[in-house]
Amino acid sequence: MPQGPLVYRQRLTTRITHWVWAVSLFFLMLTGLQIFNAHPSLHIGQESGFDYDNAILKIGAQKEGGTLRGVTQVFGVAFDTTGVLGVSGGEARAIPAALTIPSTQSLATGRVIHFFFAWLLVGTLSFWLVASALNGHLRQLIPTLADLRALPRDLVDHARLRVHHTADYNVLQKLAYASVLFVALPLMILTGLSMSPGVNAAAPWLLDLFQGRQTARTIHFLTMLALLGFFAAHMAMILLAGPLNEMRSILTGWYRTDGDRE
């Protein structure tokens, strides 16, 4: 456990927006999976191939001798995913009820909740971006030259599960947070907007950027998986670094550092 002094590490704007994002992303993911269930396949291009195949992922159910079998096809290779994907709880549905909001099939409800939290995410992200540009927090997220020089050592430390508690973020932390805030979330928002026929009229360049509405939908889904990966790593690091100290810093702002032992 770190024994050094307490430092004020997270400002109020960062703490509040962090929790708004956590709640928003939770709802966005589970309502997103509800929406995905209405057409559980991912395509490449402007349109979805029905008379031809441009799918990279397809989740479906097949009737085999009186029993339903869940089948997931990735790049044309089929896997039996009965119980999880394609068929779960005895019914044909791509994503199981435990992972969708609402738990029953309701595209309309999923959409209404999805767009509500999409607005909330975009609003708080914009607010945070402006506030952080003004109060200097943005600079704390951009790796410095010294950070990059320390990258190999930081990688080794992380691989050995050796955690340092410092007032500043370490380089891997900076890279992880910056990729979520400046790459993954903007990508999520832009690919989401690319699926809107209204936005397509207002900003057709988005379709050129992502090479079509269905490709944008596929990127939207894959970025969700990347964010899920970040969430898993984020949780693992919190447990590893000392959950009480980490929770205190994201709730009150105060974080105990290693102090002189460093």
Q: Is 38 in the site for another protein (CB under 8 A)?
A: yes
Which CB atom, from 31 or from 72, has the smaller least distance to another protein? Answer: 31
Token pair recorded at residue 144: 């410095």
Q: Which listed range, 4-12, 57-65, 180-188, 244-252, lies at the site for another protein (CB under 8 A)?
A: 244-252
Q: Measure the CA dihedral 129/134/135/137, to 10°.
A: 40
The answer to whether residue 55 forms part of the interface with another protein (CB under 8 A) is no
Q: Report how far residue 216's alpha carbon sits from residue 23's, in angstroms, rounded to the nearest whole number.
A: 24
- Is residue 247 at the binding interface for another protein, with CB under 8 A as the rule? yes
Q: Minimal distance in Å, beta carbon 235 to another protein? A: 8
Considering the rule CB under 8 A, would residue 109 count as an interface residue with another protein?
yes
Among 16, 195, 222, 226, binds another protein (CB under 8 A): 195
Residue selected from 101, 188, 190, 219 as contacting another protein according to rule CB under 8 A = 101
Closer CB to another protein, 120 or 151, in the complex: 120
230 interacts with another protein by CB under 8 A: no
Decide if residue 254 touches another protein (CB under 8 A). no
Q: Which is nearer to another protein, 112 or 134 (CB)?
A: 112
Size of the residue set binding another protein (CB under 8 A):
55
Chain center to CA of 233: 12
Q: Give the three-state DSSP class for 69.
A: strand
Q: Report the C-alpha gap between 237 and 240 in whole angstroms.
A: 5
Please report where in the chains the tokens 């890279």 appear, as a residue. 175
List CB contacts of 187: < 8 A, sequence separation 6 or more: 219, 223
Comparison of 171 and 224: residue with beta carbon closer to another protein = 224
Asked if 120 contacts 25 with a C-beta cutoff of 8 angstroms, the reply is no
Q: Residues of 190-224 as b/e, b for ≥16 C-beta within 10 angstroms?
A: bbbbbbeeeeeeeeeebbeebebbbbbbbbbbebb
Task: Supply the DSSP symbol for 169.
Answer: P
Query: Is 89 a residue that touches another protein (CB under 8 A)?
Result: no
Chosen residue from 12, 23, 148, 161 binding another protein by CB under 8 A: 23
Q: Is 36 in the site for another protein (CB under 8 A)?
A: yes
Q: Does 26 bind another protein (CB under 8 A)?
A: yes
CA distance 20 to 215: 29
- Going by C-alpha positions, the residue among 154, 161, 100, 197 that lies closest to residue 207 is 197
DSSP character string of 248-260: HHHHTSEEE--GG
Interface with another protein by CB under 8 A: which residues? 22-23, 26, 30, 35-36, 38-39, 43, 46-52, 97-104, 106-109, 111-113, 115-116, 119, 195-204, 207, 213-214, 217, 235, 238-239, 243-244, 247, 251
